[in-house]
């Protein structure tokens, strides 16, 4: 099942399939390790849903909800 990163619940894991951002934002996300094929685990979500803390590769990364909505993932079951 494909969805965006913002829709994953805490504890869910997904594999990045595409990054919908463009330009400098896309490059910045890719520099932080958010590359197609990378696995991400949602660790925490703030009470109002923004920001979202994910674990990618071997570190933790906080993303704004708007940024996470542009990252497509395949949910791992």
In this structure, what is the dihedral angle of CA atoms 44, 12, 17, 40, given to the nearest 10 degrees? Answer: 50
User: Hey, which bits of 1-77 come out as E strands?
Assistant: 2-4, 13-19, 39-45, 52-56, 59-63, 71-75
Structural domains of the chain, with CATH: 2-71 (2.30.30.90)
What tens digit of pLDDT does each residue of 3-17 get? 999 999 999 999 999
For residue 77, the model assigns a pLDDT of 63
What distance in Å separates the CA atoms of residue 50 and residue 64, rounded to the nearest whole number? 6
43 half-sphere exposure, CB direction, 13 A CA radius: 13
For residue 22, the model assigns a pLDDT of 81
What tens digit of pLDDT does each residue of 21-68 get? 788 988 998 988 899 999 999 999 999 888 999 999 889 999 999 999
- pTM for the whole structure: 0.85
Residue 18: pLDDT band with limits 50, 70, 90: very high
């Amino acid at each position: 099942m494909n969805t965006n990163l913002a829709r994953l619940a805490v504890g869910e894991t997904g594999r990045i399939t595409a990054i919908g951002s463009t330009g400098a934002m896309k490059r910045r996300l890719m520099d932080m390790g958010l590359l197609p094929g990378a696995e991400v685990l949602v660790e925490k979500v703030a009470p109002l849903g923004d920001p979202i803390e994910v674990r990618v590769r071997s570190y933790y990364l906080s993303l704004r909800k708007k940024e996470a909505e542009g990252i497509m993932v395949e949910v791992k079951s």
